[in-house]
Amino acid sequence: MVELIWDGKKEMLKMVNSKDFLTTNKKLIPCSEESKNWDTTNNLYIEGDNLEVLKILIKEYKNKIKMIYIDPPYNTEKKLIYNDKFRKTKKECRHSGWLNMMYPRLKLAKDLLSDDGVIFISIDDNEIDNIRKVCDEVFGRSNFRNTILTRRRIKSLNSQFAENGLKSLNVGFEYVLVYAKSPDFVMKSIRMKKVNSSGKGRWDVFWSNADRPTMRYDILGFTPESGQWRYSKEKAIIAVANYQKYCNEFADKMTLEEYWEENGCCLQFIRRIPNGTGKNGGVQHWVPPSDTALRTSNWTDIEVSQIQKEIDLPFDNPKSKELIIELVKLVGEKECIIIDFFAGSATTAHAVMKLNAEDGGNRKFIMVQLPEETAENSEAYKSGYKTIAEIGKERIRRAGDKIVAETGKTDLDIGFKVFKLE
């Protein structure tokens, strides 16, 4: 693996690998008056520079966090507000500053994750190659799992120049990188709605090329010479009998789909095409109708930003709540802690509460957000929100109340304890 080198990396690594890296003189100050349900909640909202906050969290949460989601500030011309003082000369570009900002935070994120934990990182074209190399260094190349593709709202900027030719196409998607802490992390299979589902089942090859001799046996007069059948012999015998019974007694009365539904949508069927050839000898199994399909890494059915607001607050283009809900579903645990240390408008907290209401989970969240000031000419500032953190806290308050009102579930943990970095 070729190491990624950038200005300031040597100094940054010296700091990260020093014995004093986790040392901090900062403290978290409780702020009960800005909290919600202080006495009963297990959720946290922490204001402050996330590097210092993560150092403090390590003391209590090392190896205890199941999932981390971050949407770090993308590496654009905008001034980097997380300035860790590694940029000393003018020739050091914003690229180096961004990488020096991300590396130590990812190092701390790894220490927080449990052995079966996972981190999801939203990123765009500008830094995906570099952040992958950094994550390969921090988490190990073998722990890279996927790059998930999400749909980005198309801007109309190019349309006014289209007649004269374009230097580049509009970017129509963004990415979510998936890195596990170790091989122990296993994703739960999740399904997505099909765009067009026919309501009919289909016949598919019953053979696969995995080489398991114990799964090669006679079906309807044919035994494969290589590969394997998809079911055990016991299941296959029952599936053959199921289809023969349908053909003998019900084929003239109903479709196979109707017969399957009348029997509880659980029967399996196997047939063999007369004079079938090939490695499978014409043996097929029936795949029942479904309006869903297993998710792949193509999530372009989900828009990365949520344009339509559920909560009447002055923030623009927050991350899609649906996207984060699907990521949490991938983790597959209903009792765990989820951290977002670039919390922004607190979409992750909203998603966690929403999913808990839907599936009875008891997931807890920890949001970390720098109290970045809003621009004086912004709607947020004019509405009384002087920092991004103030918007995030208010969103959690309103989102929680909305979820309770919609579901009628009063036992949900929709509170959060506020702490501020000293």
Tokens representing residue 231 in the block: 């079911």
pLDDT digits (tens, 9 = 90+) for 138-178: 999 999 999 999 998 766 555 666 677 777 888 888 999 99
Which residues lie below 8 Å from residue 48, measured CB to CB, with a gap of 6+?
A: 26, 28, 368, 370, 371, 420, 421
- The Cβ-side half-sphere exposure at 122, using a 13 Å CA radius, reads 27
pLDDT value at residue 305: 84
Encoded tokens for 183: 């091989």
User: Any idea what the Cα angle at residue 359 is, between residues 357 and 363, rounded to 5°?
Assistant: 70
| Distance, CA of 279 to CA of 287 (rounded, Å) | 20
pLDDT of residue 156: 57
- Average the pLDDT over each of 41-50, 299-308, 346-355 and give the range with the smallest value: 299-308
The residue whose two tokens read 């702020």 is: 31
C-alpha distances out from residue 92 to 104, 128, 152, 251, 415, Å: 18, 20, 31, 75, 43
Residue of 408 and 194 predicted with greater confidence = 408
**Residues 280-300 as b or e (16 or more Cβ within 10 Å = b):** bbbbbbbebeeeeeebeeebe
pTM equals: 0.84
Measured between alpha carbons, how far is 145 from 135 in angstroms, rounded to an integer?
Answer: 11
Q: In what order do the strands lie in the sheet with 270-272?
A: 202-205, 283-287, 270-272
Instruction: Give, to the nearest 10 degrees, the angle between helix 9-16 and helix 94-112.
Output: 20
Report the distance separating Cα 419 and Cα 35, nearest Å: 9
| pLDDT tens-digit readout, 16-62 | 999 999 999 999 999 999 999 999 999 999 999 999 999 999 999 99
* Token pair in block for residue 43: 């959720």
Q: Which domains does the chain have, with CATH numbers?
A: 28-159+166-193+297-421 (3.40.50.150), 202-289 (no CATH)
Window from 199-203, 354-358, 361-365 with minimum mean pLDDT = 199-203
3-state secondary structure of 418: strand
First to last CA, the chain: 41
d(CA 415, CA 218): 60
Residue 98: C-alpha distances to residues 270, 291, 295 (Å): 57, 43, 32
* Residues in CB range of 224: below 8 A, 6 or more apart: 207, 216, 279, 280, 281
Neighbouring CB atoms inside 10 A of 323's CB total 26
